[in-house]
């Protein structure tokens, strides 16, 4: 008689306090649809734009409709002696916390700040619960495009010339900030929030007036703004999967419907093309895969990441652009599509990510928390 496998209790968290809130809802819809109910007991946890946590019936649809009145306010405590998802109930004596669901693992389908940047990961580490994706360090390093480029350069991985401008510098002395940004390289320059993804807040500057406008736009979304040399480039992406021994997918190429791969071209106009495998020579493809794995290990990533490159059309130089530790995860997103072509279909990919999270947690559990003489 075959052994009956215990169902895993999975909490899927989505939404969040980020400019990528709506993207997270799209990704969560695909992940929830791929979780086999015979294998998993799923609890939906939605986070509003304001940061309020909710659970209940069909949380995702309620978040899409922006109606949370009938949902249950909830939280996860950082105290591991009080595990699970707890509801917050108002009583005549104040607020009461009550256990709503025990959880074996969290699948945080959150993009951007307060989800992909190490903050949520820190909470889950303190709560001593397994979770999908990179840890605090990998998430934080991957999120900050400025510091990430410093780490890449220190590891001999090619990146484009860049500088980080602080919002406070821009507010206090715009002329000095503009001069420092222009010192990066000749126009065109790309301007983007240092801690955000999905191309939110990115602009291409061809003049000083464009640059000021781009700096102000990016500063709406982050206190740190990255200015980077623009190149006439092809956009090449590699999906990485694994913990200490990661694997890289075949590379893919994005042909944006607009001048560059903007938020609108990624998620709304539907005319950008994903070409898999990328039509590049074998040497360039292998170099992209090798550099993707090197970058993944350099930031101590885990679970998954999509590594993005710029392939200069004029020089054929390959530059690492960024790493996304929780990339877009819809059925048509590049990360799962690359693995699908590489032989790992979407539902199997979701299962594998859960396995990797449990493996990572088992590894963490081997760490001594007390000093013994």
The tens digit of pLDDT for each residue in 134-187 reads 999 999 999 999 999 999 999 999 999 999 999 999 999 999 999 999 999 999
CATH superfamily of domain region 162-229: ATP-grasp fold, A domain (3.30.1490.20)
Peptide bond into 274 cis (omega under 30): no
The pLDDT confidence band at residue 325, using thresholds 50, 70 and 90, is very high
Per the model's pLDDT, the better-predicted residue between 94 and 284 turns out to be 284
Neighbours of 356 (CB within 10 A): 20
Cα separation, 152 vs 298, in Å, equals: 8
Contact call for residues 241 and 249 (beta carbons, < 8 A):
yes
Task: Supply the pLDDT for residue 3.
Answer: 47
Cα separation, 305 vs 197, in Å, equals: 13
Alpha helices in the chain, H assignment, sequence order: 21-34, 59-64, 119-127, 136-143, 145-154, 167-172, 174-182, 208-219, 263-267, 282-298, 334-341, 346-364
3-state helix, strand, coil in the chain (%, to 5): 35, 25, 40
Cα separation, 287 vs 270, in Å, equals: 30
Segments of the chain assigned to CATH 3.30.470.20: 142-157+232-363
Judge residue 256's burial from the number of C-beta atoms within 10 Å of its C-beta, 0-12 exposed, 13-18 middle, 19 or more buried: middle
Task: Supply the pLDDT for residue 196.
Answer: 74
Contacts of 251 (CB under 8 A, 6+ apart): 236, 237, 238, 277, 278, 280, 285, 288, 289, 309, 338
Cα separation, 23 vs 18, in Å, equals: 10
The CATH number for 142-157+232-363, chosen from 3.30.365.10, 3.30.470.20, 3.40.1160.10, 3.40.50.150, is 3.30.470.20
CA distances to 238, 275, 353 from 346, in Å: 16, 18, 11
Contact call for residues 100 and 74 (beta carbons, < 8 A):
yes
Q: Cα Rg for the chain, rounded, in angstroms?
A: 21
The pLDDT confidence band at residue 197, using thresholds 50, 70 and 90, is low
The pLDDT confidence band at residue 1, using thresholds 50, 70 and 90, is very low
Is residue 84 left, alpha or beta, with left meaning phi > 0 and alpha meaning psi from -120 to 50?
left
Angle formed at CA 236 by CA 233 and CA 241, multiple of 5 degrees: 155
User: What is the CATH T-level fold of the domain 8-131, as seen in this structure?
Assistant: Rossmann fold (3.40.50)
Alpha helices in 185-311, H assignment, sequence order: 208-219, 263-267, 282-298
User: Is residue 285 pLDDT above 80, yes or no?
Assistant: yes
Helix axes 334-341, 346-364, angle to 10 degrees: 100
pTM for the full predicted model? 0.91
Instruction: Report the relative pairing of strands 247-248 and 233-242 from DSSP bridges.
Output: antiparallel
User: Is residue 192 pLDDT above 80, yes or no?
Assistant: yes
Segments of the chain assigned to CATH 3.40.50.20: 8-131
Neighbours of 98 (CB within 10 A): 10
The pLDDT confidence band at residue 195, using thresholds 50, 70 and 90, is confident
Backbone angles phi, psi at 266, to 5 degrees: -75, -40
């Amino acid at each position: 008689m075959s052994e009956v496998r215990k169902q895993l209790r999975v909490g899927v968290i989505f939404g969040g306090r980020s400019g990528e809130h709506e993207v997270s809802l799209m990704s969560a819809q695909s992940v929830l649809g791929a979780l086999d109910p015979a294998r998993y007991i799923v609890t939906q946890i939605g986070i509003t734009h304001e940061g309020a946590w909710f659970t209940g019936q069909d949380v995702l649809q309620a978040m899409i409709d922006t109606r949370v009145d009938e949902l249950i306010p909830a939280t996860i405590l950082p105290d591991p002696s009080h595990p699970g998802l707890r509801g917050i109930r108002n009583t005549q004596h104040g607020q009461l916390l009550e256990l709503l669901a025990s959880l074996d693992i969290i699948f945080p389908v959150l993009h951007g700040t307060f989800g992909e940047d190490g903050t949520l990961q820190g909470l889950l580490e303190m709560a001593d619960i397994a979770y999908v994706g990179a840890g605090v360090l990998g998430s934080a390093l991957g999120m900050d495009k400025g510091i990430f480029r410093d780490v890449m350069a220190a590891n001999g991985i090619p990146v484009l010339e860049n500088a980080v401008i602080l919002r406070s510098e821009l507010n206090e002395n715009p002329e000095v900030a503009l001069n420092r940004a222009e010192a990066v390289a000749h126009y065109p320059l790309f301007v983007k929030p240092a801690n955000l993804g999905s191309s939110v807040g990115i602009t291409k500057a061809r003049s000083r007036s464009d640059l000021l406008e781009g700096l102000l736009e990016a500063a709406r979304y982050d206190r740190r703004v990255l200015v980077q040399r623009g190149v006439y480039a092809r956009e090449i992406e590699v999906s990485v999967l694994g913990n200490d021994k990661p694997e890289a997918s075949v590379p893919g190429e994005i042909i944006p419907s607009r001048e560059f791969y903007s938020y609108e071209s990624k998620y709304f106009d539907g005319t950008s093309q994903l070409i898999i495998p990328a039509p590049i020579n074998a040497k360039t493809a292998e170099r992209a895969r090798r550099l993707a794995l090197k970058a993944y290990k350099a930031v101590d990533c885990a679970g998954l990441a999509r590594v993005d490159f710029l392939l200069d059309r004029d020089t054929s130089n390959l530059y690492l652009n960024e790493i996304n530790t929780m990339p877009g995860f819809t059925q048509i997103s590049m990360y799962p599509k690359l693995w699908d072509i590489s032989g790992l279909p979407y539902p199997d990919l979701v299962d594998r990510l859960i396995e990797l999270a449990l493996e990572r947690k088992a590894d963490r559990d081997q760490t001594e928390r007390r000093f013994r003489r």
